[in-house]
Amino acid sequence: MAAVTSASIGMPRLILPPGWQLLRTAPDNSETARRVFASIRELGPRDSITPFARELERALQTQLDDAFRAGSFAVALPLGRPWEVPVSTSIAFSVVTPPTGTPVLPEVGEKVDTDAGTARRRILDAPVSPDALAGELVPLRTLDYTWVREDAYLVAFASITGDADPDYAPVTDALTLLITTMLDAVTFDPAPRQETQP
């Protein structure tokens, strides 16, 4: 039996909200970042728009590079209009192979039936330091889904970060509902097989 890898699983099939994109990560994500924001460069004079576009590209490339180094093969995140509240999120997908033995569904978390099969879901609120400054962006909540795929785990991890002001708690709850809705409905299509020449 061939080992399960991100290549054999293929890209996730997600219902993406407006403004969201699903991007594959790679050792070098500069070209992906340039492609995502290519249309920004057409919005105005080069001397004013180009530095803005480059900053967007730099930030996205950094996020994708970090995700790749952490073992993720794809990331879904909002890239549309800037959010009007200081709370945001993203979802990273990875394949994790246990060092020994056959993987089994973790015991920790809620057992949920998803379109991709049975999974374990955990939702954890992050402790906010009392020293956090007003307006400081901090981790607020994490969500993860774990599926078993033959000899490996398939993991979707989402983090919600933002201002810890209690007034924004409903936004965190709304993003939690959005993420769980997306991941309850995610599926993973196998990557296309390479045709062999006779």
**Measured between alpha carbons, how far apart are the two ends of the chain, in Å?**
23
Give me the domains of the chain, ranges plus CATH numbers.
16-82 (no CATH), 84-128+137-189 (2.60.120)
pTM of the model: 0.86
pLDDT of residue 193: 41
Q: In whole angstroms, give the CA distance from residue 169 to residue 48.
A: 36
For 12: left if phi > 0, alpha if psi spans -120 to 50, otherwise beta; the answer is beta
Tokens 């962006």 belong to 137
Are the C-beta atoms of residues 32 and 20 closer than 8 Å to each other?
Answer: no
List, for residues 65-92, the tens digit of each pLDDT value: 999 999 999 999 998 766 677 889 999 9
The closest alpha carbon to 156, from 102, 119, 107, belongs to 119
Whether residue 3 has pLDDT greater than 70? no
Residue 136, CB-side half-sphere exposure with 13 Å CA sphere: 9
